[in-house]
C-alpha cells in the first residue's frame, strides 16, 4: 500500500511562467509542466530535466487519496474562498497576483517534491509550501518550504522541519 505526502501552500509565478497554469474545459486549474520542455530559457537546466523525467510530476495538481480529508490545512495556510474550507479544488489560480494555491497529495517515493522545490527558483518569485507525510499527520507539524535569498542574492528554498505536536511517552 502506498503512503502519501501532502503538499500545500502558495507559489507566485514569475511573469514569463504564467503559461504553466491553465484552465481545463471543465473549469479546473492545472499545471502544464511539460510546456517547460519547449522553454529554451530553462529546458536544458538539469533541475528541469530531472523534474520532467520524474513520471509523478504530472500528479502535482491532483488529490489522489483520502488520507488527508480530515486534516486542518487552515491551521497553516489561508485557504482560498472557493475551496469550501478544504483542499478541493487542489489548484486555484489568482491571475492578478500570479499566485497559485496548491493542495495536493502524491506518492513521493521518487522525490518528486524535492525536484519541484529545486525548479521553483527558476519559475517563481516566492513560495510558501508545507509538506506532510501521511504517517506523521497527527504527530508532527508539516515541514515548511519557503523562498529566501542567499547571501549572494540567489533565490533558494529554505526548509524548516516540523516539530512534534505532542510528547509521546511509551508506557
Residue 69: per-residue pLDDT: 77
User: For 47-88, how does the pLDDT look when each residue is reduced to its tens digit (9 = 90+)?
Assistant: 999 999 999 999 888 776 777 877 788 788 877 765 655 666
What is the per-residue DSSP string for 13-72?
A: E-GGGGGGEEE-TTS-EEE-GGGGGG-TTTTTSHHHHHHHHSGGGGGTT-B--STTTT--
DSSP run (H or E) holding 86: none
Local confidence pLDDT in tens for the 171 residues of the chain: 678 999 999 999 999 999 999 999 988 889 999 999 999 999 999 999 999 999 999 988 877 677 787 778 878 887 776 565 566 677 889 999 999 999 888 999 999 999 999 999 999 999 999 999 988 888 888 999 999 999 999 999 999 998 887 655 554
What is the per-residue DSSP string for 146-170?
A: EEEE-TTS-EEEEEEPPPBSS----
This prediction's pTM = 0.89
Q: pLDDT averaged over the chain?
A: 87
If 0-12 CB within 10 Å is exposed, 13-18 middle and 19+ buried, where does residue 86 land? Answer: middle
Amino acid at each position: 500500500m502506498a503512503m502519501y505526502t501532502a503538499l500545500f501552500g502558495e507559489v507566485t509565478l514569475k511573469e514569463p511562467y504564467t503559461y504553466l497554469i491553465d484552465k481545463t474545459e471543465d473549469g479546473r486549474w492545472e499545471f502544464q509542466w511539460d510546456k517547460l520542455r519547449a522553454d529554451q530559457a530553462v529546458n536544458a537546466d538539469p533541475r528541469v530535466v530531472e523534474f520532467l523525467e520524474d513520471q509523478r510530476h504530472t500528479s502535482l495538481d491532483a488529490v489522489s487519496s483520502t488520507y488527508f480529508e480530515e486534516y486542518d490545512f487552515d491551521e497553516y495556510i489561508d485557504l482560498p474562498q472557493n475551496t469550501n474550507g478544504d483542499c478541493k479544488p487542489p489548484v486555484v489560480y489568482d491571475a492578478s497576483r500570479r499566485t497559485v494555491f496548491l493542495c495536493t497529495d502524491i506518492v513521493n517515493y521518487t522525490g518528486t517534491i524535492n525536484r519541484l522545490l529545486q525548479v521553483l527558483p527558476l519559475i517563481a518569485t516566492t513560495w510558501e509550501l508545507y509538506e506532510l507525510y501521511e504517517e506523521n499527520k497527527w504527530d508532527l507539524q508539516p515541514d515548511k518550504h519557503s523562498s529566501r535569498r542567499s547571501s549572494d542574492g540567489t533565490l533558494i528554498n529554505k526548509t524548516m522541519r516540523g516539530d512534534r505536536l505532542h510528547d509521546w511517552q511509551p508506557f
